[in-house]
Amino acid sequence: MAIKHIVMWNLRGESTQEKARAIAFLRNRFESLRGQIPGLLHLEVGVDSSGVDYACDVVLYSVFDSRESLALYATHPAHLRVREELGDLRINRHQVDYAME
């Protein structure tokens, strides 16, 4: 059964330009994971355009072929490298994982 993995973040940035650079960096790093993670069927990164004060800056939407593949993703060297590269760029994180029906 396929699993959707959705993560939303708010990112550091004192100015609009700093925030835009942080978003572009995060997007580039996560999109670099395509084709590297076994069982990762789909990955997209979306940037908030609503402008509401309670919205997150960016969302990662990904689909895995199984819970096992999602668990392997969490410890995969390519994913761990991205997490390390992002460092403390992320200031808030929210996550939802659920089975597709």
pTM equals 0.91
Distance, C-alpha 16 to centroid of its chain: 20
Query: How is the chain split into domains, by residue range?
Result: 3-99
Between CA 60 and CA 47 the distance in angstroms is 9
Pairing relationship of beta strands 90-99 and 3-11 according to DSSP bridges: antiparallel
Q: What is the CA radius of gyration of the chain?
A: 14
pLDDT in tens, the chain (101 residues): 999 999 999 999 999 999 999 999 999 999 999 999 999 999 999 999 998 999 999 999 999 999 999 999 999 999 999 999 999 999 999 999 999 87
- Within 32-97, where are the H helices? 67-75, 77-86
Could you tell me the fold of the domain covering 3-99?
A: Alpha-Beta Plaits (3.30.70)
The sign of the CA dihedral 67, 69, 70, 76 is positive
